Amino acid sequence: MKNWWKFLLAVIVIAALAYIPFIGRSTDVYVMPVKRATALDAISGNVSVEASLDIDLKNREPGLIIESVYDPMLGGVPVRAGQVVFKQETRDIDFVIENKKLELETVRQNIDNGSPLEPDLETAKQELEDNAALTKKGLFPEAELNKLKRSVTKLERQMRQQYIEWEAAEKTLRQEIKQLEERRKDMEIRSPIDGLLIDAQVFPGDYVEEPTTLGRILSNDKLVRISISEEDYPGIRPSNKVSLKLLGVGQKLFTGEVTQLLPTSNSETKRRDIFVKLDNAEDGDLVDGMTGESSVTKASRDNTLIIPRRGLLGDIVFVVNGDVVEERIVETGFIGLLQAEIVGGLQEGEMIVVEDPKQLRNGEKVNATEQILDFD
């Protein structure tokens, strides 16, 4: 029993010696006042930037690639809608088109020159006319006249058939030439949109079958996607205000609004996606693959008490009274990324600790320095 009292006394002495250096010593803290402003019910989300269109550029015709605007040293080449980005060798199809045009010219000449049967038909008609007059006078047999009529009819039918065949050949050749020219046009592979050509898979000298992915076109128009947790999703609506920052664009704060809510959720990540339109994004600000952080405001309340969120420990804040801190339980309302609404437990103008409040104890002596930062 005596040894136990000795041990307890030693512990008390050691604790007292350890506490002596802190007697009369103040802890440095940063404080900010409780103020009236607009409270925001906001949630955070992960931002990603992507092209609104990502198109695989493919050829329709087989052939040798002879030209490409892609530069592998750049990794991506700006292109315009309608610009030729890959070109194939057209020599073989040009030869076929030229032959078809020669055939068409021959057919047109036949039509313009007329049928070689026309002289025979004119002679037969004249003979029929002359003998018809003789038949009326009884000087030419009726049977022979009928033979002449059949001969004229046959020649007329043969001539009509010739013109039908020529006109059909002309129509067919024109259609074939049109199709061949369309195929030749397809051998100039053009960009369907303004954008960036990336990931080229073929280069001049490569032979491609049909269809082959030659490269990708990313549109200049960008989509800003925000991924949020399912538990934060309720209450989000189109037109909700958004603010975000992107890595690689310095400290620029982008603002905008929600434009679309995806109806499905990712079962693995338990997150849902929304799309936003930014008001102040300039040319070059948004690049495919960028990431960042965002704040989506679901609701707001004007003229209410707010404090910096980092000064809130659950439902506890530390209020500075003179040179000591008081631990105080508060009632909160909207909780945003940077601020917290206080609906009970604090008065406007009271100073609360905003840096490392969890290190403090109730009644601890402090040396307070006011921090001037905007958190609303």
Question: How far apart are alpha carbons 145 and 147 in whole angstroms?
Answer: 5
* Assigned CATH topology for domain 26-42+302-370: 2.40.420
Match 């960009």 to its residue by tokens. 191
- The larger pLDDT score, comparing residue 18 to residue 71, is at 71
pLDDT digits (tens, 9 = 90+) for 90-120: 999 999 999 999 999 999 999 999 888 888 8
Kindly state the tokens that stand for 223: 């989509």
The tokens 């001049």 sit on which residue? 204
Chain Cα centroid distance, residue 182: 30
The DSSP element (H or E) to which 257 belongs, if any, is: strand 254-266
The closest alpha carbon to 196, from 57, 75, 78, belongs to: 78
Q: Which of 320, 259, 277 is nearest to 29 (CA)?
A: 320
226 to 125, 231, 243, 273: CA distances (angstroms): 88, 15, 11, 6
If pLDDT is split at 50, 70 and 90, which confidence band does 131 have?
confident
pLDDT at 140: 85
8 Å CB contact between 333 and 78: no
Distance between CA atoms of 3 and 285, rounded to whole angstroms?
Answer: 75
State pLDDT tens for residues 322-356: 999 999 999 999 988 788 999 999 999 999 999 88
Confidence band of 22 (pLDDT split at 50, 70, 90)? very low
**Residue ranges covered by each domain of the chain:** 26-42+302-370, 43-53+220-299, 56-85+188-219, 90-186
Phi first, then psi: what are they for 91, rounded to 5°? -60, -45
Cβ atoms 36, 361 nearer than 8 A: no
What pLDDT is recorded for position 20? Answer: 46
Q: Nearest-CA neighbor of 200 among 76, 335, 32? A: 76
Given the DSSP bridges, would you call strands 27-33 and 366-370 parallel, antiparallel or unpaired?
parallel
Give percent of the chain with pLDDT exceeding 70: 93
Domain 56-85+188-219, CATH: 2.40.50.100
Q: How is residue 361 written in tokens?
A: 């104890």
Three-state DSSP state, 119: helix
Nearest C-alpha neighbor of 196 from the set 175, 172, 222 = 222
Give pLDDT tens digits for 196-210.
999 999 999 999 998
Whether residue 62 contacts residue 208, with contact meaning beta carbons closer than 8 Å, is answered with yes
Tokens of 244: 């975000």
- Its pTM stands at 0.65
Nearest to residue 293, comparing CAs of 40, 49, 45?
45
Across the chain, what does the average pLDDT equal?
90
**Under DSSP, is residue 267 helix (H, G, I), strand (E, B) or coil?**
coil
Q: Which CATH number fits the domain 43-53+220-299, given the four candidates 2.30.40.10, 1.10.486.10, 2.40.30.170, 2.40.50.100?
A: 2.40.30.170
